[in-house]
Chain A
Amino acid sequence: MKDFTRRCLIKGGTAAAAAGALTGPAFLEWAKAWAQSAPWKPEKGAQLSILRWKYFVQSEDDAFVALMDSFTKATGVKVTIARESYEDVQPKASVAANTGAGPDLFWGLYSLPHLFPQKCLDVTDVADYLGKKYGGWVPTAVTYGKGSGNKWIAIPVCYAGNLLNYRLEASKKAGFSKFPTTTDEFLAYAKAMKAQGTPGGMALGHASGDGNAWIYWCLWAFGGNVVDKDDKVIINSPETEKALNYAKALYENYVPGTASWNDASNNKAFLGGEIHWTNNGISIYVAAQNDPSKKQIAEDMDHAYWPVGPVGKPTEFHLMFPLMAMNYTKYPQACKALMAYMLEADQFNKWLTASKGYLTHCLNAYDKNPVWTADPKTTPFRDVAKRTLTAGGLGSVGEKAASAIADFVVLDMFAAYCTGREDAKGAIKIADRQLRRIYR
């Protein structure tokens, strides 16, 4: 829920002006030199259009616009930016892929390029160039970026981390000076927090970001899986049942009403002081910092990794944002130049800083970006690319995984059991039936 008011336009204007000050003549020199030496020379008269997901942190978008501007200055290629809510990028890209007309580049969610790998521009050279220059890609980014065979079909630009947000004082009062690191401790934490009247909660409504993040974490933490590595549905397992039981125990210690929560509800409740822990991106923290009346919340909160379950390793699930170019584009070289330009240190570092921890890099070298250490509360977000699993779990990251997530199959299974609408067997059976159809 972003309100576009006059005030925020003015703010955006000044921020853009500030960014403009940074891109002084020296920087322009660098950008021009980069354009000269880069392996990709944009076609004559090239123009690009890019459809991206709609931002959550205003300063991130300002930096993105500034980045595109500097690319235009360096190469003369005009870039038109369009924005859509992140769930709506996929249908648009699908239609564009099918009709062969539309924006040159799409920047969307999870498995977007895997829905039509044969329609994506081969960007192996860009990925190799960046990988070599910046300390290599994290393994999950390779999974998202590579199509079948050894071809890269997209550039995994970044993750948006989804971690636990908690209030410091209330947690300490409940006897947890450190945030729990195992699922057992976490349940004890939820109980203790509820008992002292400072409960938390995580979304069980149709919240595509926060809802899916926590229920997939829970499923995987107990060894449950939607499919095996050959995309065979294996949801019907004792592990899934254990995960369900755990989720129910957690749910019973939530603040009432989480079954109706969407992605924005926990932000509101946390900032309103109604809940004291939840799962979210960094946007709650950023919003608290930006609002003078919420300063004390920003100071009294921190972020933590997801607790590790019986499987003994992190089972987090973060949003991946891959950038793909369509092979119908008239300017493939310009597309590649833009992709490489975006992730060059001189650009990407600034952008990463401006996103205030909302975005996390997939190239190892950017671990050193000062944004991760300047404020220790953003540090956990640095590692999300290394801790996350991919959409589809053990299976492929393609269309089927995307469908299962978009149709809330697993989320509804958890919600049905937690709210007592179905018993465990019944909830699993419904999900199993739906998944078998998706994965047929």
Chain B
Amino acid sequence: MAVTALKSSARPATRDVSAWERLKVNRNWLGLWFMLPAAAFLVLFLAYPLGLGVWLSFTDAKIGRSGIFVGYENYEWLWDDSIFWLSVFNTLLYTLVASTIKFAVGLYLALLLNENLPFKAILRAIVLIPFIVPTVLSAIAFWWIYDSQFSIVSWTLRHLGFISGNIDFLGDPWNARWSVIFANIWRGVPFVAITLLAGLQTVSPSLYEAATIDGASSWQRFRYITYPLLTPIIAVVMTFSVLFTFTDFQLIWVLTRGGPVNATHLMATLSYQRAIIGGQLGEGAAIATAMIPFLLAAILISWFGLQRRKWQQGESND
């Protein structure tokens, strides 16, 4: 900059530096150009599809045919649609219960795996298995486990004499809900456990040593050392976990397709059924768009949580 400034001042005073000349050497201008490829990617693959989805929800588009703008009509219709509200309820229940249990079990597993166990490496690898298996595969396995006639669970209990008839896992609304939640938990625990384990490994052993010397019980060590130091990673893990669970699709689609009588329809599956299978693209897009506020709320909670030092470093340290 200094060099160019010198140069321009050496030129005849009659010729002013044009705005273009100045722009050419402006670092911010250059920076803008370097950012463009990344911005183009984001716009093309994130903003455009999202915008298109939201736009579609204001039209009566069908598959293979662009629709006309209908304003809030899709939303008004959904507002009175009992199946839509049922799917909202199912989604919230599914997310809340599954995420909570995944967190509890995941944290427990992580603490366990952090101890000095024999065959530690193998055990850690085994824990990851449910996460590695493709969702559709594990969903098909659960489909057999929950089968109304050939369930291994029913079979075993029947042969042990605990029950007389088969358990109707996926045929009864509440059984079906708990069954799909269980399958989701089975699948999601390893992610939580392994990530929290990674967090646990960053806690310095000297802190525990100091606490032990001070006579802290194991609960106190967890409560006042492990937990506060783990909160940032908990916030990240739970954000992801909630997002994955909220937008789950494959598991439900393979196991129940939203049945029985829509008792397990999540917003994602209902959106797919209406938009792609039923061809009502606009209405399906409206259901998908209705998920955005919930997802934003989940992200914001953890975002603000991450910003707060209290969350990161324990209480009374604002």
Contact = CB atoms under 8 A, between A and B. Distances in A.
A265 B257 CA distance: 13
A262 B176 CA distance: 14
A419 interface: yes
Interface stretch (B11-19, B87-95, B146-154, B304-312): B146-154
Interface in A398-431: 399, 402-403, 406-408, 412, 415-416, 419, 421, 430
A97 interface: yes
B173 A95 contact: no
B171 to A, nearest CB: 4
A272 B150 contact: yes
B274 A268 contact: no
A206 B258 contact: yes
A116 B261 contact: no
Contact of A407 (B63, B165, B172, B274): B274
Contact of A258 (B83, B150, B171, B257): B171
A204 B176 CA distance: 14
A98 interface: yes
B261 A412 contact: yes
Given A260-B260, A407-B277, A265 B63 contact: no
Contact of A399 (B149, B166, B169, B279): B279
Given A91-B63, A256-B168, A399-B279, A205 B173 contact: no
B278 A116 contact: no
Contacts of A272: 149-150
A354 B118 CA distance: 60
Interface in A55-104: 87, 90-91, 93-98
B199 interface: no
A186 to B, nearest CB: 22
Nearest to B62: A399
Interface in B249-280: 256-263, 273-274, 276-280
Contacts of B278: 403, 406-407
B259 A90 contact: no
A438 B60 CA distance: 11
A195 to B, nearest CB: 16
Contacts of A91: 63-64, 276-277, 279
B68 to A, nearest CB: 14
Given A94-B279, A95-B63, A256-B166, A265 B273 contact: no
Contacts of A433: 80-81
A246 interface: no
Contacts of B277: 87, 91, 406-407
B77 interface: yes
Given A402-B279, A415-B261, A257 B171 contact: yes
Nearest to B278: A407
Interface in B125-162: 146-150
Contact of A262 (B257, B262, B263, B273): B257
Contacts of B63: 90-91, 94-95
Interface residues of B, number: 39
B82 interface: yes
A46 interface: no
Given A274-B149, A407-B277, A407-B278, A260 B259 contact: yes
A82 B256 CA distance: 27
Interface residues of A, number: 44
A288 B257 CA distance: 27
Interface string B10-47: 00000000000000000000000000000000000000
B256 to A, nearest CB: 7
Nearest to B74: A437
B65 interface: yes
A268 B279 contact: no
Contact of A403 (B171, B258, B279): B279
A115 interface: yes
Nearest to B263: A421
A261 B148 contact: yes
B234 interface: no
Nearest to B73: A437
B181 interface: no
A299 B278 CA distance: 40
B260 A97 contact: no
A94 B75 CA distance: 25
A403 B171 CA distance: 25
A407 B312 CA distance: 47
A394 interface: no
A416 B261 contact: yes
B171 A260 contact: yes
A256 B64 contact: no
B170 interface: yes
A188 to B, nearest CB: 24
A416 B278 CA distance: 20
Contacts of A402: 279
A269 interface: yes
A94 B66 CA distance: 11
A255 interface: yes
A396 to B, nearest CB: 15
Nearest to A95: B64
B205 to A, nearest CB: 51
Contacts of B256: 205-206, 260
A187 interface: no
A259 interface: yes
B261 A260 contact: no
Contacts of A403: 278-280
Interface in A201-234: 204-206
Nearest to A404: B278
Contacts of B276: 91
Contact of A260 (B64, B65, B81, B176): B176
Given A275-B149, A408-B273, 4 more contacts: A116-B65, A206-B256, A259-B172, A437-B77
18 contacts: A87-B277, A95-B64, A98-B65, A205-B260, A206-B257, A256-B168, A259-B170, A269-B149, A272-B150, A403-B278, A403-B279, A403-B280, A407-B280, A408-B273, A412-B261, A415-B259, A430-B83, A437-B77
The 8 closest A-B pairs by CB, nearest first: A257-B148, A94-B64, A260-B170, A259-B260, A206-B257, A260-B171, A407-B278, A98-B64
Interface of B: 62-66, 77, 80-83, 146-150, 165-166, 168-173, 176, 256-263, 273-274, 276-280
